Structure 1
Amino acid sequence: MYKVAVVFLLALLSAACQTQSEKAQTEKWDSFRCLHLRDQVPVTRQSAAYIRDRSESGDGLCTTILGQMYERGLGVTVDLDKARATYLVAAKLDRSAYVQLARLAEEGIGEPVDPAKARRLYEQSGAHENNKLAAVRLAKLLEDGVGGPEDKSGALNLYLKSLDRYNDDAWKGVQRLRDPSTIHDAGKVSRYNALWSRGLKNTLSRHMRHANYKFLKDFKKQPNLAPVKLEFEFSAGSLAPTVTILKGSGSSVFDDAVLTEMNLYRFPDEPILPAEQKTWKVNSEFGRDMW
């Protein structure tokens, strides 16, 4: 009898956990629906009512979106005072919403420009933790010494922490401030170099595709040619690679043309190399998909 009771209790607890999990998932999708409805053109009266109802029920994301609607006139009349008040309510539910209030202060939207206030609000929104938008915007203020003391080291740290995509705002910030001798966080260096490699792959692929079209006209169809295996060597301080053919195509004329064309390629920015490392090598092939 005791074992039956225990099994029954465990079944009830499991059902309760599943119910809570399903409820949390439903709440999450209800919140994301606010994002979808905000981006409709135009935002209908029914959509605005749904977002407002979700906000009144204590949904932080939907409350932030309602503030954006008042700010931008999406489905409602533009009302910057209501926008600010709504962002304040959202920030009490989720402090990341302070980034909206910081932006208003920084850009002078509905209030005087106040970069010092913007700095404080970006910090409140979690710029030093996991709010990447706040981190990048705060970093720019620190970099330029706007609203407080200049702090390029602090700005660089925030940019590195916020890296998400090659050539995004955080990446561009790193390029302006980068000094490999002052960057010691191995995790951030690894993340930066991974994005750099991705940028290199994309730009090199575009260069090769362009060369393919050019060579199709110059060399016509020659299916007997093997792909040319290439090595691109990066040297610190230069974006121009040293290109070496590791294995040719079988045609010296074609190989020379490939080498000439690939020497026109330039690396996208620089990787962050350890002090003892002076070069970085990348191998690739040209001509595999040409014919």
Structure 2
Amino acid sequence: MRKAALLLTFTALAAGCTNTGPGSPGDPYASIRCSKSLDPPPIPIEHVEYVRAQSDDGDLYCKNVLALMYESGTGVPQDIPKAKALFQSIADVDEAGYHNLGRMAEQGIGETPDYAKARALYQRSISVSDSKRKLAKFMEEGIGGPQDLNGAMALYLEVSSEDMYRLRAKGVPLSPEQINDFNAGWLKGVTSRIQMKTGQVKNSLPLEVTRGPALKPVWFALKYIKGSLVPEIDLLESSGNNIVDHLVLKGMSSYRFRYEPIMPEGKTVWPLVTSLSPNSAPRSLE
């Protein structure tokens, strides 16, 4: 298994694991040191022994790494049964450990692919975001059990904007609370993308602007208009330099909303107010 795949499964479980356990020596850097085992081979034997010792002392993070090493044959002979036993020992202490057991059942690692088993294991490790998304996909497509679009949507609302919007386009109904969650997810995504865009626009300004005399922030509104992914942009407060204002608004004019929120009845405009400071870091949406 490639390092990227190792890191993916390692990260998925790590959120639910603690760095120390019964008998742990309490090394505050154990997780960092153990994660070096995911580097390309060869791995020094003393490092393998360090990971094994931390695992034996109850460090769940390092135990997870050791299991991944046995699964892939990284630094140790490949041993799928031993990898599963280690993952199970983690699951006995922390339900997040079921994620990798579910992944192995889904992929047929050491066994015939068993989607019903994988679905049940992802359900048991639902505190892990990757498990939640996997379970939602299984529920959406009826894999390993009955199709449940409403259940899938409830999970996507927590972990996956892309899937949330896609499933919404299929006409899956939402409760008022879910609509609020849906719009909150939309706003979070928009906020992040607009901040990235303002950063790009700032970097595109001429040096005589970014290194010149201090200017006031350019305050402007990007308005989502119901039914259109193209925002209207209004200047709210000038920087004090009309040329800079023009460059900022021109740069922002290529921004597009990726998805639509669920607008309340009778509301057609959702204004988003932000600013760009030509001589300092971009400001956040307010």
TM norm. shorter chain > 0.5: yes
Q: Which of residues 152, 157, 161 is equivalent to 1:155?
A: 152
Residue 243 (str. 1) matches residue 233 (str. 2): yes
Q: Retained in 2: the 8 A contact 1:231–1:282? A: yes
CA distance in 2, matches of 1:255, 1:223: 15
Structure 1 residue 122: Cα displacement: 0.8
The 8 Å contact of residues 24 and 58 in structure 2, kept in 1 or not, is answered as no
Counterpart residue identity of residue 135, structure 1? K
| Matching residue of 1:20 | none
Alignment partner of 1:143 is 2:135: no
Is the 1:230–1:285 contact (alpha carbons within 8 Å) kept by the matching residues of 2?
Answer: yes
Give distance in 2, aligned partners of 1:181 and 1:28: 52
Deviation at 1:67, TM superposition (A): 1.0
Shift of 1:241: 0.7
Identify, as 1 or 2, the structure richer in helix: 1
Query: Deviations along 1:212-242, whole A, 9 cap, x unmatched?
Result: 24xx69x999859765432211123322111
Change (3 A) 1:189 1:76: same
Residues 1:235 and 1:93: Cα distance change in structure 2 (over 3 Å): same
Verify: 1:202 aligned to 2:192, yes or no.
Answer: no
Three-state SS of the structure 2 residue aligned to 1:110 is coil
State the distance in 2 between where 1:262 and 1:113 align.
49
Given candidates 185, 193, 198, the residue that maps to 2:177 is 185
- Return closer, same or farther for 1:36/1:254 CA change in 2, 3 Å cut-off: closer
- Per mean C-alpha deviation after superposition, the further-off stretch among 72-81 and 27-36 is 27-36
Please tell me the root mean square deviation across aligned C-alpha atoms, in Å: 3.6
Tell me which amino acid in the other structure corresponds to 1:149: P
> Structure 1 stretch 278-287 or stretch 143-152: which is displaced more?
278-287
TM-score, with length taken from structure 1 = 0.71
Give unpaired runs (5+ residues) of structure 1: 1-22, 163-169
Counterpart secondary structure, 2:176: coil
Q: Describe the SS at the equivalent of 2:273.
A: strand
Partners of 1:210 and 1:149 in 2: CA distance: 50
TM-score where L is the length of structure 2: 0.72
* SS of residue in 2 equivalent to 1:239: coil
Q: How many residues align?
A: 255
Distance 1:190 1:88 in 2: 38
Instruction: State the distance in 1 between where 2:181 and 2:24 align.
Output: 34
**What is the percent sequence identity of the aligned residues?**
31
Q: Secondary structure at the match of 2:92?
A: helix
Distance 2:22 2:199 in 1: 41
Q: Looking at both structures, which has the greater relative contact order when contacts are Cα pairs under 8 Å and sequence separation is at least 6?
A: 2
Write the deviation string for residues 111-148 of structure 1: whole angstroms up to 9, x where unpaired.
222222110111122x1xx2222111111222222222
What's 1:81 paired with?
81
Higher mean displacement: 44-53 or 28-37: 28-37
Looking at structure 2, the residues matched to 174 and 91 of structure 1 have their Cα atoms a distance apart, in angstroms, of: 29
Please state whether the residue corresponding to 1:149 is helix, strand or coil.
Answer: coil
Which residue identity does 1:269 align to in structure 2? Y
From the CA coordinates, give the structure whose radius of gyration is larger: 1
CA gap of 1:28–1:124, structure 2 versus 1, over 3 A, is farther
Match of residue 47 from structure 1: 47
Shift of 1:105: 1.3
- For 2:262 and 2:197, the matched residues in 1 are separated by 19
